[in-house]
Chain A
Protein backbone atom coordinates (compact mmCIF):
# COMPACT_ATOMS: atom_id res chain seq x y z
CA UNK A 1 0.00 0.00 0.00
CA UNK A 2 2.82 2.36 0.93
CA UNK A 3 4.59 1.39 -2.27
CA UNK A 4 1.49 2.14 -4.26
CA UNK A 5 1.02 5.51 -2.54
CA UNK A 6 4.68 6.38 -3.15
CA UNK A 7 4.26 5.49 -6.82
CA UNK A 8 1.25 7.81 -7.00
CA UNK A 9 3.11 10.61 -5.21
CA UNK A 10 6.08 10.26 -7.55
CA UNK A 11 3.97 10.34 -10.69
CA UNK A 12 1.90 13.30 -9.47
CA UNK A 13 5.12 15.08 -8.41
CA UNK A 14 6.70 14.35 -11.80
CA UNK A 15 3.64 15.83 -13.50
CA UNK A 16 3.24 18.99 -11.41
CA UNK A 17 6.90 19.74 -10.77
CA UNK A 18 8.52 18.67 -14.02
CA UNK A 19 6.12 18.17 -16.90
CA UNK A 20 3.86 21.15 -16.14
CA UNK A 21 6.95 23.39 -16.27
CA UNK A 22 8.45 21.78 -19.33
CA UNK A 23 9.08 24.50 -21.86
CA UNK A 24 9.88 22.54 -24.98
CA UNK A 25 7.26 23.96 -27.27
CA UNK A 26 3.92 25.72 -27.11
CA UNK A 27 2.44 22.58 -28.66
CA UNK A 28 3.53 20.13 -25.96
CA UNK A 29 1.65 19.70 -22.67
CA UNK A 30 1.87 15.98 -21.87
CA UNK A 31 -0.41 14.68 -19.14
CA UNK A 32 1.34 11.61 -17.87
CA UNK A 33 -0.39 11.41 -14.48
CA UNK A 34 -3.42 9.82 -16.14
CA UNK A 35 -1.53 6.52 -16.13
CA UNK A 36 -2.54 6.42 -12.46
CA UNK A 37 -6.19 6.31 -13.49
CA UNK A 38 -5.60 3.98 -16.43
CA UNK A 39 -3.83 1.50 -14.20
CA UNK A 40 -6.27 1.55 -11.30
CA UNK A 41 -6.89 -1.84 -9.66
CA UNK A 42 -9.35 -3.89 -11.68
CA UNK A 43 -11.46 -4.96 -8.69
CA UNK A 44 -12.14 -1.37 -7.62
CA UNK A 45 -15.83 -0.42 -7.50
CA UNK A 46 -17.01 1.92 -10.23
CA UNK A 47 -18.16 4.49 -7.69
CA UNK A 48 -14.70 4.57 -6.09
CA UNK A 49 -13.07 4.86 -9.50
CA UNK A 50 -15.11 7.98 -10.22
CA UNK A 51 -14.30 9.45 -6.81
CA UNK A 52 -10.57 8.77 -7.27
CA UNK A 53 -10.70 10.32 -10.77
CA UNK A 54 -12.49 13.34 -9.39
CA UNK A 55 -9.95 13.71 -6.57
CA UNK A 56 -6.90 13.34 -8.80
CA UNK A 57 -8.38 15.86 -11.26
CA UNK A 58 -8.93 18.24 -8.35
CA UNK A 59 -5.26 17.96 -7.32
CA UNK A 60 -4.14 18.69 -10.89
CA UNK A 61 -6.53 21.63 -11.17
CA UNK A 62 -5.18 23.08 -7.92
CA UNK A 63 -1.66 23.05 -9.28
CA UNK A 64 -2.39 24.56 -12.69
CA UNK A 65 -5.40 26.61 -11.57
CA UNK A 66 -7.86 25.32 -14.14
CA UNK A 67 -10.83 24.62 -11.83
CA UNK A 68 -12.94 21.77 -13.13
CA UNK A 69 -11.11 21.05 -16.39
CA UNK A 70 -8.91 18.16 -15.23
CA UNK A 71 -11.65 16.94 -12.90
CA UNK A 72 -14.10 16.67 -15.76
CA UNK A 73 -11.51 15.11 -18.08
CA UNK A 74 -10.56 12.53 -15.43
CA UNK A 75 -14.21 11.57 -14.96
CA UNK A 76 -14.60 11.03 -18.70
CA UNK A 77 -11.38 9.04 -18.76
CA UNK A 78 -12.70 6.73 -16.03
CA UNK A 79 -16.02 6.34 -17.83
CA UNK A 80 -14.39 5.46 -21.16
CA UNK A 81 -11.92 3.17 -19.41
CA UNK A 82 -14.85 1.27 -17.88
CA UNK A 83 -16.45 0.81 -21.31
CA UNK A 84 -13.20 -0.41 -22.88
CA UNK A 85 -12.23 -2.72 -20.01
CA UNK A 86 -15.72 -4.27 -19.98
CA UNK A 87 -14.87 -5.64 -23.43
CA UNK A 88 -11.59 -7.21 -22.28
CA UNK A 89 -11.42 -10.48 -20.42
CA UNK A 90 -9.96 -9.33 -17.11
CA UNK A 91 -12.19 -11.13 -14.58
CA UNK A 92 -9.41 -13.34 -13.33
CA UNK A 93 -7.09 -10.40 -12.81
CA UNK A 94 -9.86 -8.52 -11.04
CA UNK A 95 -10.37 -11.44 -8.69
CA UNK A 96 -6.64 -11.41 -8.00
CA UNK A 97 -6.93 -7.67 -7.25
CA UNK A 98 -4.36 -6.73 -9.87
CA UNK A 99 -3.95 -3.33 -11.48
CA UNK A 100 -4.43 -2.71 -15.19
CA UNK A 101 -1.01 -2.88 -16.85
CA UNK A 102 0.91 -4.39 -19.76
CA UNK A 103 1.54 -7.41 -17.58
CA UNK A 104 -2.10 -8.10 -16.77
CA UNK A 105 -3.78 -7.06 -20.04
CA UNK A 106 -1.05 -7.83 -22.55
CA UNK A 107 0.83 -5.38 -24.73
CA UNK A 108 -1.69 -4.67 -27.49
CA UNK A 109 -4.87 -4.36 -25.36
CA UNK A 110 -2.99 -2.17 -22.91
CA UNK A 111 -1.45 -0.11 -25.73
CA UNK A 112 -4.68 0.66 -27.59
CA UNK A 113 -6.61 1.28 -24.36
CA UNK A 114 -3.95 3.72 -23.19
CA UNK A 115 -3.67 5.33 -26.61
CA UNK A 116 -7.42 5.94 -26.84
CA UNK A 117 -7.60 7.30 -23.29
CA UNK A 118 -4.58 9.55 -23.71
CA UNK A 119 -5.82 11.01 -26.99
CA UNK A 120 -9.33 11.55 -25.62
CA UNK A 121 -7.97 13.14 -22.46
CA UNK A 122 -5.61 15.55 -24.26
CA UNK A 123 -8.11 16.60 -26.89
CA UNK A 124 -10.80 17.06 -24.25
CA UNK A 125 -8.70 19.37 -22.05
CA UNK A 126 -7.43 21.37 -25.04
CA UNK A 127 -10.99 21.67 -26.33
CA UNK A 128 -12.24 22.84 -22.91
CA UNK A 129 -9.32 25.22 -22.63
CA UNK A 130 -10.11 26.97 -25.92
CA UNK A 131 -13.86 26.52 -25.88
CA UNK A 132 -15.67 29.14 -27.92
CA UNK A 133 -12.61 30.13 -29.93
CA UNK A 134 -10.96 26.92 -31.02
CA UNK A 135 -8.08 26.97 -33.46
CA UNK A 136 -8.53 23.55 -34.95
CA UNK A 137 -5.04 23.33 -36.40
CA UNK A 138 -3.40 24.33 -33.12
CA UNK A 139 -5.59 21.96 -31.16
CA UNK A 140 -4.78 19.08 -33.51
CA UNK A 141 -1.01 19.62 -33.36
CA UNK A 142 -0.99 20.20 -29.60
CA UNK A 143 -3.26 17.22 -28.95
CA UNK A 144 -1.28 14.80 -31.09
CA UNK A 145 2.21 15.92 -30.03
CA UNK A 146 1.27 15.96 -26.34
CA UNK A 147 -0.39 12.57 -26.64
CA UNK A 148 2.67 11.17 -28.39
CA UNK A 149 5.03 12.39 -25.69
CA UNK A 150 2.66 11.23 -22.96
CA UNK A 151 2.38 7.70 -24.37
CA UNK A 152 6.16 7.51 -24.70
CA UNK A 153 6.64 8.56 -21.09
CA UNK A 154 3.93 6.17 -19.94
CA UNK A 155 5.66 3.41 -21.89
CA UNK A 156 8.85 4.18 -20.01
CA UNK A 157 7.00 4.19 -16.67
CA UNK A 158 5.41 0.85 -17.50
CA UNK A 159 8.75 -0.61 -18.52
CA UNK A 160 10.28 0.58 -15.26
CA UNK A 161 7.47 -0.88 -13.19
CA UNK A 162 7.71 -4.24 -15.01
CA UNK A 163 11.43 -4.39 -14.28
CA UNK A 164 10.70 -3.46 -10.70
CA UNK A 165 8.13 -6.24 -10.28
CA UNK A 166 10.39 -8.73 -12.01
Chain B
Protein backbone atom coordinates (compact mmCIF):
# COMPACT_ATOMS: atom_id res chain seq x y z
CA UNK B 1 0.00 0.00 0.00
CA UNK B 2 2.85 2.30 0.92
CA UNK B 3 4.50 1.57 -2.41
CA UNK B 4 1.27 2.41 -4.16
CA UNK B 5 1.08 5.76 -2.40
CA UNK B 6 4.74 6.40 -3.23
CA UNK B 7 4.06 5.56 -6.86
CA UNK B 8 1.06 7.93 -6.98
CA UNK B 9 3.03 10.69 -5.29
CA UNK B 10 5.97 10.27 -7.67
CA UNK B 11 3.74 10.25 -10.76
CA UNK B 12 1.10 12.66 -9.54
CA UNK B 13 1.83 15.18 -12.30
CA UNK B 14 1.23 12.47 -14.94
CA UNK B 15 -2.04 11.44 -13.28
CA UNK B 16 -3.04 15.11 -13.12
CA UNK B 17 -2.15 15.57 -16.79
CA UNK B 18 -4.32 12.59 -17.77
CA UNK B 19 -7.25 13.78 -15.62
CA UNK B 20 -7.05 17.32 -17.04
CA UNK B 21 -6.83 15.99 -20.59
CA UNK B 22 -9.94 13.89 -19.96
CA UNK B 23 -11.74 17.02 -18.77
CA UNK B 24 -10.55 18.83 -21.91
CA UNK B 25 -11.72 15.98 -24.12
CA UNK B 26 -15.10 16.09 -22.44
CA UNK B 27 -15.37 19.86 -22.94
CA UNK B 28 -14.18 19.70 -26.56
CA UNK B 29 -16.60 16.99 -27.60
CA UNK B 30 -19.57 18.17 -25.57
CA UNK B 31 -19.49 21.97 -25.91
CA UNK B 32 -18.12 22.49 -29.44
CA UNK B 33 -20.94 21.69 -31.90
CA UNK B 34 -18.65 20.73 -34.79
CA UNK B 35 -16.40 18.51 -32.65
CA UNK B 36 -19.48 17.04 -30.99
CA UNK B 37 -20.92 16.05 -34.39
CA UNK B 38 -17.60 14.56 -35.44
CA UNK B 39 -17.33 12.69 -32.19
CA UNK B 40 -20.90 11.37 -32.49
CA UNK B 41 -20.17 10.15 -36.02
CA UNK B 42 -16.91 8.48 -34.98
CA UNK B 43 -18.51 7.02 -31.87
CA UNK B 44 -21.33 5.61 -33.97
CA UNK B 45 -18.84 4.00 -36.36
CA UNK B 46 -16.83 2.62 -33.47
CA UNK B 47 -19.85 1.24 -31.63
CA UNK B 48 -21.17 -0.29 -34.86
CA UNK B 49 -17.85 -2.02 -35.41
CA UNK B 50 -17.76 -3.23 -31.80
CA UNK B 51 -21.36 -4.42 -32.04
CA UNK B 52 -20.60 -6.31 -35.25
CA UNK B 53 -17.55 -7.80 -33.64
CA UNK B 54 -19.36 -8.86 -30.49
CA UNK B 55 -22.23 -10.17 -32.59
CA UNK B 56 -19.79 -12.33 -34.58
CA UNK B 57 -18.36 -13.72 -31.36
CA UNK B 58 -21.83 -14.35 -29.95
CA UNK B 59 -22.89 -16.05 -33.18
CA UNK B 60 -19.80 -18.22 -33.06
CA UNK B 61 -20.51 -19.34 -29.50
CA UNK B 62 -24.16 -19.81 -30.36
CA UNK B 63 -23.37 -22.10 -33.30
CA UNK B 64 -23.93 -25.20 -31.18
CA UNK B 65 -27.43 -24.06 -30.23
CA UNK B 66 -28.13 -23.06 -33.81
CA UNK B 67 -26.96 -26.46 -34.96
CA UNK B 68 -29.24 -28.25 -32.51
CA UNK B 69 -32.11 -26.05 -33.58
CA UNK B 70 -31.43 -26.76 -37.25
CA UNK B 71 -31.26 -30.49 -36.57
CA UNK B 72 -34.62 -30.32 -34.85
CA UNK B 73 -36.05 -28.39 -37.77
CA UNK B 74 -34.72 -30.95 -40.24
CA UNK B 75 -36.18 -33.79 -38.15
CA UNK B 76 -39.53 -32.03 -38.11
CA UNK B 77 -39.42 -31.45 -41.84
CA UNK B 78 -38.41 -35.07 -42.37
CA UNK B 79 -41.44 -36.26 -40.43
CA UNK B 80 -43.74 -34.03 -42.43
CA UNK B 81 -42.30 -34.65 -45.87
CA UNK B 82 -42.46 -38.44 -46.06
CA UNK B 83 -45.73 -40.14 -47.03
CA UNK B 84 -47.95 -41.91 -44.60
CA UNK B 85 -47.88 -45.14 -46.54
CA UNK B 86 -45.18 -47.49 -47.62
CA UNK B 87 -45.22 -49.60 -50.74
CA UNK B 88 -42.92 -52.52 -50.76
CA UNK B 89 -41.35 -54.25 -53.75
CA UNK B 90 -43.38 -52.45 -56.36
CA UNK B 91 -46.85 -52.96 -55.00
CA UNK B 92 -46.36 -56.51 -53.83
CA UNK B 93 -48.26 -55.13 -50.93
CA UNK B 94 -49.09 -51.71 -49.72
CA UNK B 95 -49.31 -50.71 -46.10
CA UNK B 96 -51.32 -47.72 -45.01
CA UNK B 97 -50.38 -45.90 -41.89
CA UNK B 98 -53.72 -45.98 -40.16
CA UNK B 99 -52.66 -43.82 -37.24
CA UNK B 100 -52.50 -40.84 -39.65
CA UNK B 101 -49.05 -40.01 -38.58
CA UNK B 102 -45.82 -40.10 -40.45
CA UNK B 103 -44.40 -43.52 -41.09
CA UNK B 104 -40.88 -42.31 -40.57
CA UNK B 105 -39.46 -40.26 -37.77
CA UNK B 106 -35.98 -38.85 -37.37
CA UNK B 107 -33.92 -38.34 -34.23
CA UNK B 108 -30.98 -35.96 -34.43
CA UNK B 109 -27.69 -37.27 -33.06
CA UNK B 110 -24.05 -36.40 -32.99
CA UNK B 111 -21.25 -38.69 -34.11
CA UNK B 112 -18.79 -39.21 -31.27
CA UNK B 113 -16.57 -41.79 -32.94
CA UNK B 114 -16.04 -42.54 -36.60
CA UNK B 115 -13.66 -44.50 -38.79
CA UNK B 116 -13.31 -44.27 -42.54
CA UNK B 117 -9.98 -46.00 -43.13
CA UNK B 118 -10.86 -49.59 -42.22
CA UNK B 119 -12.38 -52.37 -44.30
CA UNK B 120 -15.49 -52.37 -42.15
CA UNK B 121 -16.05 -48.90 -40.86
CA UNK B 122 -18.39 -48.02 -38.05
CA UNK B 123 -19.38 -44.95 -36.15
CA UNK B 124 -20.88 -44.27 -32.74
CA UNK B 125 -23.62 -41.74 -32.08
CA UNK B 126 -24.61 -40.10 -28.79
CA UNK B 127 -28.16 -41.48 -28.74
CA UNK B 128 -29.22 -44.92 -27.57
CA UNK B 129 -32.11 -46.97 -26.27
CA UNK B 130 -33.17 -44.18 -23.94
CA UNK B 131 -33.87 -42.11 -27.03
CA UNK B 132 -35.78 -44.85 -28.81
CA UNK B 133 -32.94 -46.11 -30.97
CA UNK B 134 -32.66 -49.82 -31.67
CA UNK B 135 -30.81 -52.22 -33.94
CA UNK B 136 -31.64 -52.01 -37.67
CA UNK B 137 -32.53 -48.38 -37.94
CA UNK B 138 -31.25 -46.28 -40.77
CA UNK B 139 -28.87 -43.40 -40.22
CA UNK B 140 -28.68 -40.47 -42.58
CA UNK B 141 -26.69 -37.27 -42.67
CA UNK B 142 -27.95 -33.98 -44.06
CA UNK B 143 -26.42 -35.02 -47.42
CA UNK B 144 -27.54 -38.64 -47.67
CA UNK B 145 -27.30 -42.15 -46.27
CA UNK B 146 -24.72 -42.70 -43.56
CA UNK B 147 -25.32 -46.22 -42.21
CA UNK B 148 -27.44 -48.64 -40.22
CA UNK B 149 -27.61 -49.09 -36.44
CA UNK B 150 -25.89 -52.29 -35.33
CA UNK B 151 -26.41 -52.14 -31.60
CA UNK B 152 -27.39 -49.71 -28.85
CA UNK B 153 -26.95 -49.27 -25.15
CA UNK B 154 -28.80 -46.73 -23.02
CA UNK B 155 -27.09 -43.65 -24.39
CA UNK B 156 -24.99 -44.65 -27.38
CA UNK B 157 -25.40 -46.63 -30.57
CA UNK B 158 -22.96 -48.20 -32.99
CA UNK B 159 -23.77 -47.91 -36.66
CA UNK B 160 -22.39 -49.74 -39.66
CA UNK B 161 -21.06 -47.09 -42.02
CA UNK B 162 -21.84 -47.05 -45.71
CA UNK B 163 -18.10 -47.61 -46.04
CA UNK B 164 -18.42 -51.15 -44.77
CA UNK B 165 -18.04 -54.20 -46.99
CA UNK B 166 -21.08 -55.79 -45.32
CA UNK B 167 -23.34 -52.89 -46.26
CA UNK B 168 -25.62 -53.68 -49.20
CA UNK B 169 -28.25 -51.30 -50.53
CA UNK B 170 -30.38 -51.61 -53.61
CA UNK B 171 -29.82 -48.56 -55.84
CA UNK B 172 -32.48 -46.42 -57.43
CA UNK B 173 -31.25 -44.46 -60.45
CA UNK B 174 -33.23 -42.31 -62.88
CA UNK B 175 -36.59 -43.49 -61.59
CA UNK B 176 -35.70 -47.15 -61.72
CA UNK B 177 -34.70 -49.64 -59.07
CA UNK B 178 -31.92 -52.06 -60.03
CA UNK B 179 -31.83 -55.42 -58.36
CA UNK B 180 -28.18 -55.38 -57.76
CA UNK B 181 -26.33 -53.97 -54.80
CA UNK B 182 -24.33 -50.90 -54.17
CA UNK B 183 -21.35 -51.76 -52.01
CA UNK B 184 -18.03 -50.58 -50.81
CA UNK B 185 -15.02 -52.46 -52.13
CA UNK B 186 -12.54 -50.80 -49.80
CA UNK B 187 -10.54 -49.16 -52.55
CA UNK B 188 -11.36 -45.50 -52.31
CA UNK B 189 -12.77 -43.32 -49.53
CA UNK B 190 -16.27 -42.03 -50.21
CA UNK B 191 -16.55 -44.16 -53.33
CA UNK B 192 -18.97 -47.11 -53.78
CA UNK B 193 -19.37 -49.60 -56.58
CA UNK B 194 -22.38 -50.94 -58.45
CA UNK B 195 -21.94 -54.03 -60.60
CA UNK B 196 -24.52 -55.80 -62.68
CA UNK B 197 -26.36 -52.99 -64.43
CA UNK B 198 -26.99 -53.94 -68.02
CA UNK B 199 -25.24 -51.88 -70.66
CA UNK B 200 -28.59 -51.28 -72.31
CA UNK B 201 -29.60 -49.06 -69.40
CA UNK B 202 -29.18 -45.32 -69.89
CA UNK B 203 -26.85 -44.27 -67.10
CA UNK B 204 -24.70 -41.15 -67.21
CA UNK B 205 -22.01 -39.69 -65.04
CA UNK B 206 -23.65 -37.37 -62.52
CA UNK B 207 -26.86 -39.38 -62.19
CA UNK B 208 -28.15 -39.44 -58.63
CA UNK B 209 -28.25 -42.79 -56.87
CA UNK B 210 -30.80 -42.92 -54.08
CA UNK B 211 -32.82 -45.31 -51.98
CA UNK B 212 -35.85 -46.94 -53.57
CA UNK B 213 -38.87 -48.73 -52.25
CA UNK B 214 -37.14 -51.91 -51.28
CA UNK B 215 -35.95 -50.88 -47.87
CA UNK B 216 -37.83 -50.72 -44.63
CA UNK B 217 -35.04 -48.71 -43.04
CA UNK B 218 -34.95 -45.69 -45.30
CA UNK B 219 -37.67 -43.73 -47.04
CA UNK B 220 -37.57 -43.60 -50.79
CA UNK B 221 -35.39 -40.93 -52.38
CA UNK B 222 -32.65 -40.51 -49.80
CA UNK B 223 -29.44 -39.83 -51.78
CA UNK B 224 -26.69 -42.42 -51.61
CA UNK B 225 -24.41 -40.60 -54.01
CA UNK B 226 -23.88 -39.75 -57.65
CA UNK B 227 -22.35 -41.72 -60.50
CA UNK B 228 -18.77 -40.53 -60.85
CA UNK B 229 -17.37 -43.07 -63.33
CA UNK B 230 -18.78 -45.65 -65.70
CA UNK B 231 -16.48 -48.56 -66.62
CA UNK B 232 -17.45 -50.25 -69.81
CA UNK B 233 -15.42 -53.35 -70.59
CA UNK B 234 -16.07 -55.08 -73.87
CA UNK B 235 -15.96 -58.57 -72.34
CA UNK B 236 -18.84 -57.97 -69.96
CA UNK B 237 -22.45 -57.10 -70.70
CA UNK B 238 -22.67 -55.10 -67.46
CA UNK B 239 -21.49 -51.68 -66.42
CA UNK B 240 -19.31 -51.15 -63.43
CA UNK B 241 -20.34 -47.86 -61.84
CA UNK B 242 -18.38 -45.85 -59.35
CA UNK B 243 -20.59 -43.81 -57.05
CA UNK B 244 -19.29 -40.94 -54.99
CA UNK B 245 -21.11 -40.97 -51.67
CA UNK B 246 -23.36 -38.03 -50.89
CA UNK B 247 -22.14 -38.12 -47.30
CA UNK B 248 -18.57 -37.15 -46.62
CA UNK B 249 -17.49 -39.80 -44.12
CA UNK B 250 -14.28 -38.09 -43.26
CA UNK B 251 -16.28 -35.19 -41.86
CA UNK B 252 -19.31 -36.93 -40.43
CA UNK B 253 -20.55 -35.04 -37.41
CA UNK B 254 -24.32 -34.64 -37.28
CA UNK B 255 -26.71 -37.41 -38.31
CA UNK B 256 -30.36 -38.41 -38.01
CA UNK B 257 -31.55 -41.84 -37.01
CA UNK B 258 -34.50 -42.78 -39.19
CA UNK B 259 -37.19 -44.65 -37.33
CA UNK B 260 -39.75 -46.62 -39.24
CA UNK B 261 -42.66 -46.68 -36.82
CA UNK B 262 -44.09 -49.78 -38.39
CA UNK B 263 -40.84 -51.65 -38.85
CA UNK B 264 -41.74 -54.59 -36.58
CA UNK B 265 -45.15 -55.21 -38.07
CA UNK B 266 -43.92 -54.80 -41.63
CA UNK B 267 -40.94 -57.03 -41.00
CA UNK B 268 -43.24 -59.58 -39.40
CA UNK B 269 -45.47 -59.50 -42.46
CA UNK B 270 -42.49 -59.97 -44.73
CA UNK B 271 -41.17 -62.91 -42.73
CA UNK B 272 -44.64 -64.52 -42.85
CA UNK B 273 -44.64 -64.06 -46.58
A-side interface residues toward B, CB under 8 Å? 45-47, 49-51, 54, 57, 61, 66-69, 71-72, 75, 78-79, 128, 131-133
Contacts and interface: CB of A to CB of B under 8 A. Distances in A.
Given A47-B16, A50-B16, A132-B41, 19 more contacts: A45-B13, A49-B13, A50-B13, A61-B27, A67-B27, A68-B23, A68-B24, A68-B26, A68-B28, A69-B28, A71-B27, A75-B24, A79-B17, A128-B28, A128-B35, A131-B35, A132-B35, A132-B37, A132-B38
Contacts of A49: 13
A57 B24 CA distance: 10
B54 interface: no
B32 interface: yes
A75 to B, nearest CB: 5
Interface residues of B, number: 21
B21 A67 contact: no
Contact of B24 (A46, A72, A79, A132): A72
B20 interface: yes
B83 interface: no
Contacts of A131: 35, 38
Contacts of B37: 132
A132 B13 contact: no
Contacts of A78: 17
11 contacts: A47-B12, A47-B13, A50-B20, A66-B32, A68-B29, A69-B24, A71-B27, A75-B20, A75-B21, A79-B17, A132-B35
A68 B17 contact: no
A130 to B, nearest CB: 8
A76 to B, nearest CB: 8
A75 B42 CA distance: 24
A68 B32 contact: yes
B4 interface: no
Interface of B: 12-13, 16-17, 20-21, 23-29, 31-32, 34-35, 37-38, 41-42
Nearest to A69: B28
Nearest to A82: B13
Contacts of B35: 128, 131-132
Contact of B20 (A61, A66, A71, A133): A71
Q: Which 8 A-B residue pairs are closest in the complex by CB-CB distance?
A: A68-B27, A132-B38, A68-B28, A72-B24, A46-B13, A67-B31, A67-B27, A68-B24
A54 to B, nearest CB: 5
Contact of B42 (A67, A128, A132): A132
Nearest to A130: B34
A67 B31 CA distance: 6
A68 B12 contact: no
A37 to B, nearest CB: 14
B32 A69 contact: yes
B20 A54 contact: yes
A72 B28 contact: yes
A54 B21 CA distance: 9
Contacts of B32: 66-69
Contacts of A132: 34-35, 37-38, 41-42
A75 B19 CA distance: 11
Contacts of B24: 57, 68-69, 71-72, 75
Contacts of A69: 24, 28, 32
Contacts of B42: 132
Contacts of A54: 20
Contacts of B21: 72, 75
B85 to A, nearest CB: 70
A2 B61 CA distance: 69
Given A47-B12, A128-B35, A132-B42, A75 B17 contact: yes
A67 B12 CA distance: 25
A50 B17 contact: yes
Contacts of A45: 13
B240 to A, nearest CB: 71
A128 B17 CA distance: 18
